[in-house]
Structure 1
């Protein structure tokens, strides 16, 4: 896919580029980012260069992962990262994100997540955008809920992070949740609460 940009009133999201390595390296020194995401720990300058200069461009080129640098529109400061990954089931994608420590609590992550989900529903013809995090990552869960994701439960041993299998919280967003049409019909399960 051709690299794309997404904007909001306060944010500009574009594909990562090699010149973002310094800002990504600095942000990923935060112990919380290393704890709750799958970034390497310790996070080296070489890790940032690999992510911004090789992995992110390759994901766009081979249509598997679309990583966005989330930047403030008033100056271009890196706020965080937001990735959209293709899943096996057609029309299904997963989102993952981190926010630089100094930008937490500003609403930037929620704002970015809503607009990138909207982009996935329109540009990628997604019918389902999934979110998951390790159980206990309450900040990420709060962002997903504020963005309209609906919790769907927990999965045991569903995440492999830094050599350890971990349980996850799971949620999803559908096009109709953002008042967008889906690409395929959706039939919700009937209410079976009175069934035997």
Structure 2
């Protein structure tokens, strides 16, 4: 897929480029980012350059991972990263994807990550035809959970040993968002369990 740009009231979500390496490197020095994400630690210039130069480019090209640089519209400061990963099962796309994100320390608590996530969610459900959007975070990551809830994800529970982080299996909170949660229908009919 050709990379694209999404616009919100305060933000521009655009593909990462080589010029973003310095800002990504600076943001990922905050120990909270590698604490809660799969970002390497220590995070080096080589990691940043590989992310913005190869990983992001290949993700868009292969139509599997869409990483957006989230920047302020007024000054172009990097707020964070927002990624959407298509989930595949047995080599067929099942119209499912996973949303992930990190936010630079100086931009946390301002609602910008939720604003960016809402834009990616709308794009995924409408333009990509995603019918189930998933979110996972290590149990205890209250900031990520707050963003997911604000965007409309419904919490589904705690998955034991779901995440391997720094060589240790850890429990994860999980949530999902369906088109019907936002008042629209997916291409495939949904039959919820009626209960007992």
Same fold (TM over 0.5): yes
TM-superposed deviation, 1:186: 0.9
Query: Structure 2 regions of 5+ residues with no counterpart?
Result: none
Instruction: After TM superposition, give the deviation of residue 191 of structure 1 in Å.
Output: 2.2
Task: Identify unmatched segments of 5+ residues in structure 1.
Answer: none
Question: Are 2:129 and 1:125 equivalent residues in the alignment?
Answer: yes
Could you tell me which residue of structure 1 aligns to residue 187 of structure 2?
A: 183
Match of 1:101 among 105, 115, 137: 105
Provide the C-alpha distance between the structure 2 equivalents of 1:150 and 1:50, rounded to a whole number of angstroms: 34
Match of 2:168 in 1: 164
Who is 2:72 aligned against?
Answer: 72
Number of aligned pairs? 192
The two structures, once aligned, show a CA RMSD in angstroms of 0.9
Other structure's SS at 2:88 match: coil
Report how far residue 9 of structure 1 moved.
Answer: 0.5
What does 1:25-174 correspond to in 2, within 5 Å? Answer: 25-89=25-89, 90-174=94-178
Q: Pick which of 93-102 and 177-186 moved more.
A: 177-186
Instruction: Tell me which stretches of 4 or more aligned residues in structure 1 moved more than 4 Å.
Output: none
CA distance in 2, matches of 1:180, 1:111: 20
* Offset at residue 180 of structure 1 (A): 2.8
TM-score calculated relative to the size of structure 1: 0.95
TM-score of the superposed pair, with normalisation by structure 2: 0.95
CA drift of 1:157 comes to 1.0
